[in-house]
Amino acid sequence: MDDSEVKDAAQAADPSTGQWSQTEMLLALLIDTVRQLTYTTIRLQHGKKAGKAPEPLPRPGVKQKNRTQNKPRFSDAQWELLFRRIQGEHIEGTVLEERPQPAFVRRQIGPGG
């Protein structure tokens, strides 16, 4: 390609469809994390008045996930207990639903296998 063709291609290109570098992906992750922490802080202070949680920053080549799909739901009472625990209050008993954890297989590795 000659210089004029490169210039024309650059002007017609859509940057939102281009591939991101690792630095850009990490920056997007940082932005998402700060937005989520900000939302959590506001939610702790104002409860449901905080509105909806922020959507992740769109990334090229990555489909948006359906946020409601396969996501555990907490009751209002569970949210209240969780927020009280985050603020340092000691809470007795089971607060949130406990799900079975995957089993870990442990074996000792020593000399000879």
Query: To which residue do tokens 């290109």 refer?
Result: 13
Quote the domain boundaries for residue 53: 18-60+73-90
pLDDT of 31:
95
Per residue in 78-95, pLDDT (tens digit) is: 888 888 888 888 777 655
Task: Provide the H-helix boundaries in the chain.
Answer: 3-12, 22-46, 76-86
Q: How many domains does the chain have?
A: 1
Tell me, yes or no, whether 1 lies in a domain: no
pLDDT of 75:
81
DSSP for residue 60: T
Confidence check: pLDDT of 101 > 60: no
Tell me, yes or no, whether 35 lies in a domain: yes
Tell me, yes or no, whether 104 lies in a domain: no
* Measured distance CA(103)–CA(101) in Å, rounded: 6
Cα first-last separation, the chain: 60
Per residue in 27-62, pLDDT (tens digit) is: 999 999 999 999 999 998 888 888 888 999 888 777
